Structure formats: C-alpha cells, structure tokens
Amino acid sequence: MERPTIKSPTELEYMREAGLVVAAIHQALIDATKPGVTTAQLDQVVANVVADAGAKPNFLHYQGFPATVCISVNDEVVHGIPGKRAIQLGDIVSYDCGAYVVRAGKKWHGDAAVTVVVGDTHIPDAQFVQGIRPEGEVGGVSPVTLSRRRTLSSVTRGSMWAGIAAAAKAKRTNDVAAAIEDFVEAEGAAIQADQGWSPEIIEGYTGHGIGTHLHEDPTVYNYRTRGRSGKLVAGMAICIEPMVIAGDSTSAVLDDEWTVVTVEGTDAAHWEHTVAIGKHGISVLTASDAGAAGLAPFGITPIRSFI
Ligand code: MG
Ligand code: MG
C-alpha cells in the first residue's frame, strides 16, 4: 500500500466531493435494486452516475478489476464481478465502489459499501438509529433466511458506526478495530441466544487509509491485532469497512481470482464509509449528512466542512 497522505483542510474537502459522488452512486443502486435486474445493468447504473458527476471510477481496472462496482450476492463476501446474474427477491447484496475527482492536479478518492436485502425498503441512517428495521414477507424466501440476512446487515452496519464513532477519539487504528469487534461480539451473544447463529468478522480483509490513492496505509483491521496498529492523526482519511459472515468466518477466492466467498456457503454483509479526521473532529465524507444521523447516538456531531 501507499504511505498515508496527510491532507490539508482544502484537500479533505476535495475528498468530500468524491465522497458525495459515492453517496449518489449508493442511492442510485438502492433505487435500481429490483428482482430481475442483472448485476451488469447495475454496473452501468454506477458508471452513469460517476460520468454524470464529472468524476472517474476508481475500481475499474484497479489491479485488473473488470467493472465499476463490486457486487457480492449472498455467500459472496466482497469483490464480486458484475455479469449476467439476475438479482432475486430476498437476496442479500453488497455494493462496494468508489470514485475520484481531480483537483489541484491530483486524484482524490472516495470509497464506500452498502448492503441491501432485495425487496426491503432501505432504512436511512436517521431511522436506523431509532431502531427501525425492515420487516415483513419478501417473495418466497423463508422467514428464517430473511431474518438472518436482515440481522446480519444490521449488525454489520452497526459495527461500522461503532468504528466510525471510535475514530473520533482514536489515537491508533486498533481503537477503531476494538470498537468494531466489541460491537459484533455483544450483538452476537444476543443473536446466538435468539436465533441460534452468530455473526463473525471475516479475517484477512480490512479497511485502509485513503487519499490520493484508493488504498493507503494504515491498514484498519476489523478486530484487535497485536503490534500492527497505525497512528491516527489529523489530516488522515480512513475507510472503515467491516465484513461480517453469518457463522464460520473462513473464506476462499473463486477461480475468477476476485470473488471472495464463505467456505460454508453462509451469507455475508459489508458496510463501509470514508472518514476524515480533522483537528476538531471527524467527518464521514461518503455520507450526504457527513455522518450526523449515524453518529447522533454516540453524542458526536461531525464536522460539516473543514474550511
Ligand atoms: Mg470499498
Ligand atoms: Mg475500501
């Protein structure tokens, strides 16, 4: 990975421009998620939003990745390649994508991921923090499967916000990692008692620094690590992106050399935001409200602008 870049307030605002393009992509994907739509059609949705915004996709051709967005369905964890697959009612689908803008002669990146259960109405952050969750029947999907997928996405999303909130005070990446791990573990105990399965953080996949490159140091783990914790200082931006599996946390890569799947065939979820650390607070660059709704339960008011 590239060394971490320390951004000026103006540069963090360039990154917010990229981040808001990513927020617009996610909204377009949520709106376009319907049974029968192919993942290739969804990839085109992303390409169109990026082009309309005057930005550039940063996943396309990244280390040879052949599409604009990673679309991972059910037991696919991350890095799924769009193609002919048609989305089905009740599928759990994660979208991971990014965009960059060129300002002052450099590329400034944004990167975020969202998970949806097809057929559910998307719950915005403001309602999510009030405890509102999707419910009801979806197609012919069994209530048990549906409940597991909704809970999995909810826990993953919650752990992301716990990690983001921790970044407001964190001195090192391990503080963020610990918050994510503790959230999943606490929720997991309740889910095990209630539903008989446990959410597990996938090993070997992490968040990262971001700036003039899509992936920079430091590595941001989703679980505590010994001796591998990077410093967090003002001017840094990091992607916080827990990936959580319903059950056994081992994964494998398919023959396409990209798609990561769970070995046991259990479902997976992935949520991610790009978070900027300023002198006087944090800001969620890929959230249209800078993270205000998601951070409200933690008593944190994000910075709306660094300049
Ligand atoms: Mg991402
Ligand atoms: Mg990322």
Tokens of 241: 């992106």
The predicted pLDDT at position 229 comes to 85
Burial class of residue 106 (count of CB atoms within 10 Å of its CB; 0-12, 13-18, 19+):
middle
Q: Say if CB 14 and CB 285 are below 8 A apart.
A: no
3-state secondary structure of 60: coil
The predicted pLDDT at position 161 comes to 98
Nearest listed ligand to the Cα of residue 210: 2
Q: Cα separation of 95 and 83, whole Å?
A: 14
The predicted pLDDT at position 261 comes to 85
Per-residue pLDDT of the chain (307 residues; tens, 9 = 90+): 778 889 999 999 999 999 999 999 999 999 999 999 999 999 999 999 999 999 999 999 898 898 999 999 998 889 999 999 999 999 999 999 999 999 999 999 999 999 999 999 999 999 999 999 998 889 888 999 999 999 999 999 999 999 999 999 999 999 999 999 999 999 999 999 999 899 999 988 999 999 999 999 999 999 999 877 899 999 999 999 999 999 877 888 888 888 888 888 889 999 999 999 999 999 999 999 999 999 999 999 999 999 9
Tokens of 291: 């993270």
Q: What residues contact 265, with CB distance under 8 A and at least 6 apart?
A: 75
Nearest listed ligand to the Cα of residue 78: 1
Ligand 1 centre and the CA of 152: distance in Å?
18
Provide, rounded to the nearest whole percent, the portion of the chain with pLDDT above 70: 100
DSSP 249: -
Q: Cα separation of 144 and 168, whole Å?
A: 37
Nearest listed ligand to the Cα of residue 70: 1
The predicted pLDDT at position 152 comes to 96
Q: What is the pLDDT of the chain when averaged over all its residues?
A: 94
Ligand 2 centre and the CA of 171: distance in Å?
21
Q: What is the pLDDT of residues 168-209, one digit of tens each?
A: 999 999 999 999 999 999 999 999 999 989 999 998 899 999
Q: What is the pLDDT of residues 224-271, one digit of tens each?
A: 998 778 999 999 999 999 999 998 778 888 888 888 888 888 899 999
pTM for the full predicted model: 0.96
Q: Cα separation of 177 and 241, whole Å?
A: 10
Residue 159, H or E segment: helix 143-167
